[in-house]
Structure 1
Amino acid sequence: MTTLPRSRPLTRADLASMPDDGHRYELIDGVLIVTPAPGFQHQNVLAELNDRLRAACPRELVVLFAPFAVALADDTELQPDLIVARRVDFTARELPVAPLLAVEVLSPSTRRVDLTLKRDRLEEAGCGAYWCVDPTALTLVAWELHDGRFVEVASVAGDDVFEASRPFPVTIRPSDLAGPC
């Protein structure tokens, strides 16, 4: 059993003591966020999106899916469902800078955190683009960082097409993310 301090915000050092129990442990401004393992639909959409991004990704960038630590501060470590970052920015254990793109596939247990806390924290850290995909409604909303603020650049559903330019050109159609299964 892990005992966490109660008299101060948590740090990444505290996070390192969390058990490997199938939950995702993240830290936002010293507050622990625990989410259960994602379901089939979430993972299927994530796999399809990962395949599309990897196929279009230039060699100097890397596409990775969770779990992988994005260390934004001593009191903030996120694990977006999918990230794109410069190959040279990774360490063996983490990404110590904001990614060029962070993607969250929304789940009932994570929707509010993904659309508010994570979005705000990634914006503050200077993440170049942030996408949220709803696997049930088959929608995608994309924001890009302009003058230090996220600006919505796309909101597509079903067979609509999103022609992304950041972090590299790629075409995403939400209905294609449901996959062949």
Structure 2
Amino acid sequence: MTVMADIEHPADSGPLTVHDLEGMPDDGRRRELIDGVLIASPAPGRRHQKIVVKLWRVLEDACPSEYDVLVAPFAVHPGDDTELQPDVLVGRDEDFTEKDLPAPPVLAVEVLSPSTAIYDLNLKKPVYERLGTPSYWVIDPGEPALTVFELDEEGHYQQVAKAAGDEVLEVERPFPVRIVPKELLGRLG
């Protein structure tokens, strides 16, 4: 990931806003803002995308009607200086607009890659925690492994579960679902 320098935004004009993102080129990069700082990542690879699609299917099949499951690119807009695009998100159906999710998701999932892992774990995770997103999942496609973080009573993420390979993970939040990390790779596993 890099901070883009080739945009029309004077250095002394302050942090970027969601409005600034709208004028950026559609060049296959995912652009996110965290507190006005632009983070751009390259298009994801095959393993990454396979996991995203398979996880979407598992979550969609278990999803109750009061929620919706979407994949990136779809914007979470908690304010003018922040736009996040988790790889997979679950939100309350009533919180979505046609264009974005202005409320915190109930689940945000990031699939790690060499170019995004540090951001997913060290920048984005604290933002979701601050927003009050009850569940944050991180998937390492290499093993594959899924780590589940949930907010505790003080509003801080705690790791509550982890499964790798053929291990079965059964979670209750945001709704009951059963996941086997290796199955998320499909034929690539």
- Runs (4+) off by over 3 Å: none
Give 3-state SS (helix, strand or coil) of 1:121's partner.
Answer: helix
TM-score (norm 2): 0.93
TM-score (norm 1): 0.97
2:60 counterpart of 1:54:
yes
Structure 1 residue 91 displacement after superposition: 0.6
**Contact 1:2/1:19 (CA < 8 Å) preserved in 2?**
no
1:98-113 residue pairs with structure 2 within 5 A?
Answer: 98-113=104-119
| Separation of aligned partners in 2, 1:114 and 1:165 | 23
The residue number in structure 2 matching 1:154 is 161
The residue number in structure 2 matching 1:142 is 148
Give 3-state SS (helix, strand or coil) of 1:176's partner.
Answer: helix
| Separation of aligned partners in 1, 2:24 and 2:149 | 32
| Separation of aligned partners in 2, 1:79 and 1:12 | 12
The residue number in structure 2 matching 1:172 is 179
Structure 1 residue 160 displacement after superposition: 1.3
Match of 1:70 among 48, 58, 76: 76
* Alignment: residue pair count: 181
Which letter does structure 2 place at the counterpart of 1:97? Answer: A
Structure 1 residue 136 displacement after superposition: 1.3
Which shifted more, 116-125 or 159-168? 159-168
The residue number in structure 1 matching 2:170 is 163
Which letter does structure 1 place at the counterpart of 2:186? Answer: G
Q: Which runs of 5+ in 2 are unaligned?
A: 1-5
| Separation of aligned partners in 2, 1:158 and 1:169 | 20
Which letter does structure 2 place at the counterpart of 1:29? Answer: D
| Separation of aligned partners in 2, 1:130 and 1:119 | 7
The residue number in structure 2 matching 1:17 is 23
| RMSD of Structure 2 on Structure 1 (CA) | 1.0
Structure 1 residue 71 displacement after superposition: 0.5
Which letter does structure 1 place at the counterpart of 2:70? Answer: L
Structure 1 residue 180 displacement after superposition: 2.9
